[in-house]
Amino acid sequence: MQRVPVGLLSMNQQDPSLSGNGKNLAIVVKQNGRSTVQLKDIQNGSILPLRHLSRNQPHSSPSLSWSGRYLAVITQRGNRRLAVIEDRLKGKFYRLRLTGQRDPIRLSIAPDARQLAIQMAYKGKLRVEMFDLTNMIEPDLTLGISGS
């Protein structure tokens, strides 16, 4: 096992999510006192741009699709926690509509971005719900395999 070069990682980072192809790393860092998601290129350590996630903080629970095209994250608007997805290829932003008083706690996007699992809190209880994204976003089909 080899460690990633020191320049890529620094202190005060949490919630790492590695893209399936191993090229991108999403982490949550403290910036100006707020938890903010950052996306880094593993090879050169550069921070990659995120168009739609510069506001509605704090961020938590980042999750990347296989190629890193999609970044799913929990963000906050006012007192409400939201599950959102940024399509880095097309520059689009998607907010999942969660009915009732359910609050997302953690999430995980499938490598092909066809499904999203979200751990929800509702009336003091936790449960995991699955969401089908096939009618909402294009699949991340850069897996290098055909079929399933």
Instruction: Determine the pLDDT at residue 97.
Output: 86
Confirm whether pTM is higher than 0.85: yes
Q: Is 148 helix (H, G, I), strand (E, B) or coil?
A: coil
Kindly state the DSSP code that residue 6 receives in the 8-state scheme.
Answer: G
The answer to whether the CB of 81 falls within 8 A of the CB of 104 is yes
- The first and second tokens of residue 30, run together, are 């403290």
The answer to whether the CB of 71 falls within 8 A of the CB of 62 is yes
Instruction: Determine the pLDDT at residue 34.
Output: 87
Instruction: Determine the pLDDT at residue 39.
Output: 95
Instruction: Determine the pLDDT at residue 2.
Output: 59
Which residues have CB under 8 Å from 63's CB, separation 6+? 17, 26, 71, 72, 73, 107, 108, 109
Give the whole-angstrom CA distance, residue 143 versus residue 75. Answer: 27
Give the whole-angstrom CA distance, residue 129 versus residue 40. Answer: 29
Instruction: Enumerate domains of the chain plus CATH numbers.
Output: 13-132 (2.120.10.30)
Give the whole-angstrom CA distance, residue 109 versus residue 114. Answer: 8
Instruction: Determine the pLDDT at residue 11.
Output: 61
Q: What is the pLDDT along the chain (148 residues), one digit of tens a residue?
A: 655 554 555 568 889 999 999 999 999 998 888 899 999 999 998 999 999 987 788 999 999 999 999 999 999 988 889 999 999 999 999 999 888 889 999 999 999 999 999 999 998 999 999 999 999 999 998 754 444 4
Instruction: Determine the pLDDT at residue 85.
Output: 97
Strands of the sheet containing 125-132, edge to edge, are 103-109, 115-122, 125-132
Instruction: Determine the pLDDT at residue 100.
Output: 81
Instruction: Determine the pLDDT at residue 147.
Output: 41
For residue 68, the tally of other CB atoms under 10 A from its CB is 25
Instruction: Determine the pLDDT at residue 146.
Output: 41
Whose CA is closest to 13, among 48, 54, 60? Answer: 60
- The first and second tokens of residue 106, run together, are 């953690």
